[in-house]
Amino acid sequence: MKRIYMVILLTIIVSTGFSQNWIIQNSITSEKLNSVFFTDTITGFAVGNSGTILKTINGSDWEIQGSETDSDLNSVFFATNFVGYAVGNDGVILKTTDGGNYWENLNYESDKWLRSVHFVSVDTGFVAGTGDMILKTTDGGETWIELAAPASGPIWPINSESLVLVGDNTYIFSSSNSGLNWDVFGDGFYGSLNGIHFLDSNKGMIAGGTFAQGYNYSEIYYTNNGGSSWSLWIQDGNWLNSVFLMSQNIAYSVGDNGEVFKTIDGGVNWNSQISGTSESLNSICFTDSGIGYIVGDAGIILKTKIEEVNIDELNHDQPSIHIYPNPIGIDSYLSIVGGDLIEFSIISTNGQLVKSGEFDKQGSFSIDIDNLISGLYILQLKTDNRLFSRKLVVK
């Protein structure tokens, strides 16, 4: 019987201890904040539960704005410095045309929970919500067209035709005709993809999390070709709720229990940062001047100023695991080189442990996967004090 060997190279790169200073701002609400958006370097908005809308005109002091609703607001987006939208539960769609001083309820009659809003022009925009549907307007919200969709959002329109949509379970959907038809990418692990951000028509990222065999995993997908294909970074940890790209290489993601990650290599590796809070963080954005804001549970608001990136940040305390080939044939061995590994686990997409074992030596390891059927798996590699996870495709 022919055997194929997969080589997994595991290299631990020592961190230089780089950290970033996130400062907790004074907040005037204890309501959960779900979304933050800045229209310029100092003017920003945050929306949250119970109809909460906050506005700042200096980047530091926040004031409560009237919203004409008590429903939870889940997403805010401005098409211009003056024209903005906020959406939320009970089908609420709010619009402002004066820079957020007054918000009009557009009275879209629906019981759907609207999760995200994004406009590609002052008139054309999209909303995604529960019930697996999207809304499209081409007249600034005066009328909306409802279309069936494969997920509940969030949604990101790359342009008026090309859409990216995610939601529960780790599927990524894309449409090239404004949501009439959808292509699917992903594995369908139990979990949720919660945040999307595209820097341009090619470079984008999606943040979320999955759960398998008793472990939570942080997940970030990234694409360099407009979503035609996606790569994945994954590690055991908190689910992520939002992601923001500052450049082709630099991006941030935030999540549950105060989690903040940063990448400076386009999403291949991510460093954990100290946020100073254990509250779940729900949304992140940066201004053009490099000032970042995060909002989350209990009214938490964080702020930072990005300084020039130092080359030392290229050092990571995360493992770099390279798998060759991947996918791998079923009549194969996994060969693992490097690292002080002590045991492994292979987990199916429904969370079942299908294979596990211990390593009896260091430096070179082998796993027989002859009894695995074709499909997608999580490969866990353990040391004395760390757990590393990668996705494994068997064909």
Q: What are phi and psi of 13, to 5 degrees?
A: -105, 125
Parallel/antiparallel/unpaired status of strands 387-394 and 191-198 = unpaired
Token representation of residue 198: 């595209």
What single-letter amino acid sits at 214? Answer: G
The alpha carbons of the chain give a radius of gyration, in whole angstroms, of: 22
CB 131 within 8 A of CB 86: no
- Produce one character per residue of 360-383: b if its CB has 16 or more CB atoms within 10 Å, e if not: eeeeebebebeebeeeebbbbbbe
How would you list the strands of the sheet with 125-129, edge to edge?
114-119, 125-129, 133-137, 145-148
Contact 254, 281 (CB under 8 A): yes
Specify the pTM.
0.78
**Tokens describing residue 339:** 């690292």
Q: How far is it, in rounded angstroms, from Cα 99 to Cα 327? A: 51
Give pLDDT, residue 309. 45
* Per-residue model confidence (pLDDT) at position 13: 36
C-alpha count within 13 angstroms, C-beta hemisphere, residue 284: 34
Whose structure tokens read 């493992």?
319
pLDDT of residue 334: 63
Cα–Cα distance measured from residue 347 to residue 216, given in angstroms and rounded to the nearest whole number: 13
Q: Degrees (nearest 5) of the Cα angle 348, 209, 129? A: 115
- Give the pLDDT of residue 148: 93
What are the start-end ranges of the H helices in 3-105? Answer: none
Contacts within 8 Å (CB) and 24+ apart, 200-205: 201/158, 201/159, 201/162, 201/226, 202/226, 203/245, 203/248, 203/266, 204/156, 204/158, 204/164, 204/245, 205/243, 205/245, 205/251, 205/253, 205/267
Domains in the chain: boundaries: 4-12+318-394, 35-306
Which of 123, 121, 71 has the alpha carbon at shortest distance from 94?
71
- Residue 83 structure tokens: 């024209």
- Amino acid present at 173: F
Euclidean distance between CA atoms 159 and 156, whole angstroms: 9
- What integer pLDDT is reported at residue 363 of this predicted model? 53
321 DSSP β-pair partners: 10
- From its phi and psi, is residue 51 left (phi > 0), alpha (psi between -120 and 50) or beta? left
User: Tokens in use for 206?
Assistant: 């999606």
Phi-psi region of 292 (alpha: psi -120 to 50; beta: other; left: phi over 0): beta
Tens of pLDDT along the chain (395 residues)?
Answer: 334 344 444 443 333 334 458 999 999 999 999 999 999 999 999 999 999 999 999 999 999 999 989 999 999 999 999 999 999 999 999 999 999 999 999 988 788 999 999 999 999 999 999 988 899 999 999 999 999 999 999 999 999 999 999 988 889 999 999 999 999 987 767 889 999 999 999 999 999 998 877 788 999 999 999 999 898 888 888 999 999 999 999 999 999 999 999 999 999 889 999 999 999 999 999 998 889 999 999 999 999 987 644 434 434 444 444 555 556 766 666 666 555 677 888 877 666 788 888 876 655 566 777 778 877 777 777 776 666 677 777 87
The fold for domain 4-12+318-394 equals Immunoglobulin-like (2.60.40)
Architecture of the domain spanning 35-306: 7 Propeller (2.130)
Write the burial class of residue 264 (CB in 10 Å: 0-12 exposed, 13-18 middle, 19+ buried): buried
Which pLDDT does position 178 carry in this prediction?
A: 93
Per the CB < 8 A criterion, the answer to whether 104 and 93 are in contact is no
How far does the chain reach from its first CA to its final CA, in angstroms?
16
**d(Cα 135, Cα 127) in Å, to the nearest integer?**
5
